[in-house]
Structure 1
Amino acid sequence: MAVLGGAIGLLTTGSLARAQGIEVTKEMILNDPAAPTGGNPNGDVTIVNFTDYNCPYCKQVAPILARVIEEDGHIRHVYKDWPVIRPTSIDGARLALAAHHQGKYEAAHAALMGIPGSGIAADQMRSALGDAGIDLARLDSDLSARSGEIEDLIKRNMAQGDALGLTGTPSFLIGPFRLSVLDYDGFKQVIADARASQKDKNG
C-alpha cells in the first residue's frame, strides 16, 4: 500500500503539477463537477477510481468495489475514465461519459466492465450499453453535442493520472493511500485505515 506522502502534501497546498498544460489540484481530483460520482455524496471517505474498460484487472475489481461501497453506505465514489491501455479504450471512455448525460453513467460503467477480456471493439461496447438500457440514439446525440466537454474531462483525467505518477489501471486513491488491485478484505482494511487517518488528523 503506497502512502501519498509528497503528492498529498503538494495537493493540500494547492497545485500538484501541470500535466499536458493542465493545472492539477486536489480540488479537481476530488471534486471535478463534470466527473461522474456514485455511492454516498456525503460520505466520510472518498474513493477516486482511475479505470480503463480494456483493463482485465479493473473488471475483476469492479464488482468487489461496488459491493463494498453498497455495504458500507458512507463512501463517495469518484470515477476517473483513464483510457491508457488500447486505442479502443478512448471509445469506452467517451461512451460511458456520454451516458452520464442521460443519467446512466453507472449503468454504462457496469455494462462495459462486464464485457470479458481486453481489446474490446467499439461495436461490442455499444451492444453492451444497449442491452443495459442505455438510449443509443440519445448517446449518439450527446457524443456529438457534448464532444468538447467529454474530451476536456478525459484530458483532465489523463493529466491528473500523470501528475500523480500513476503507472496503470486500476489505481485508487482512498484517503491518503494509493493502491491498485484489492480483494474484498483489502478494500475494507484500507477504508478503515483511511478513516483512522482522518480521525487522527482531526485530533
Structure 2
Amino acid sequence: MPAFSRRVALVALALFAAVPFSSGGAFAQSAKDVSREMILNDPAAPVGGNPKGDLTIVAYVDYNCPYCKETAVTLDRVAREDGKIRIVYKDWPILRPSSIDGAMMALAAQYQGKYETAHHALMGIKGRDTTRDQMRQALRAAGIDMKRLDADLKKNRGAINTLIKRNMAQGDALGFPGTPSFLVGPFRASTLDYKNFKLIIADARAKQAEMK
C-alpha cells in the first residue's frame, strides 16, 4: 500500500488551488462539469455517510482497484464512527473494460436506492481483474434486484454515461494519478489507512474552521 505523507497532504494538496475550470483529453466536459460545485454537489452523484455532515469526503474509485477495495472498508468504518462525514462517490472506471461495467451497474442500482449496497458488494470481490459475471453474482448475492437493475440501466444509460464522463473530467482536471483518490475537505490524498484518514479529517476540519 502506498505510504501517505501527512506533511505533503497539508502543504502541497490544497483542494482546488490549481484546478482548471476546463478539462482536456478524451473526456473533456464543460467548465460547469469540473467546477467546485459539481465536484462536491453533483445532484446525480451518490451520497453516503451523513448527508448533512460537517465534512465532505469525495472518493474517486474503480472496482478493479485493489487499493480502492482496502480503503473502502476503512472509509466506511471511519465515517460510521465519526457520524458527521458526508461521502460523495465518484465512479472513475480507468483500469479495465470491466471497470466500466461495474460503474454502470453500481450507478444503476442507485435507482432502486441501493447504490451503497452495490458499491460495497463490488468492492468486496477479491482480485484486480473482475469479470462482469463476477460482478453480477456479487450484486445478486447482496440483494440487488437484477431484473430491475437491468431495466434501470437500459432506461437511464445516457444519464449514467454522462455522469461517468463528468467524473472522468473531474479526475483529469484535479490531476489525480489514479485510484483511489480522495478529496477530504480542503485537501486531497491517495490511499489512506485508518490512522491517516483520522489525521487528515482532523486537519481538514481545522482548516475549514480557519476559512470561515
TM score, norm. by length of structure 2: 0.90
Paired letter, 1:9? A
Rounded to whole Å, the distance in 2 between the matches of 1:4 and 1:153 is 25
C-alpha deviations, 1:11-53, integer Å up to 9, x for none? 6xxx622341332100000000000000111111100000000
In structure 1, runs of 5+ residues without a counterpart are none
Aligned to 1:109: 119
Aligned to 2:23: 18
Rounded to whole Å, the distance in 1 between the matches of 2:48 and 2:185 is 16
Match of 2:65 among 49, 55, 68: 55
Residue 200 (structure 1) aligned with residue 205 (structure 2):
no
Q: Name the structure with the higher strand share.
A: 1
Rounded to whole Å, the distance in 2 between the matches of 1:168 and 1:108 is 22
What SS does the corresponding residue of 2:22 show, helix, strand or coil? strand
Aligned residues: 198
C-alpha deviations, 1:122-152, integer Å up to 9, x for none? 0100000000000000000011000001000
4+ residue segments displaced more than 4 Å: none
Match of 1:136 among 141, 146, 149: 146
Matches within 5 A, 1:90-105: 90-105=100-115
Rounded to whole Å, the distance in 2 between the matches of 1:64 and 1:21 is 32
What SS does the corresponding residue of 1:79 show, helix, strand or coil? strand
Aligned-pair distance for 1:65? 0.6
Aligned to 2:16: 8
TM score, norm. by length of structure 1: 0.94
Identity of aligned residues (%): 62
Rounded to whole Å, the distance in 2 between the matches of 1:83 and 1:10 is 24
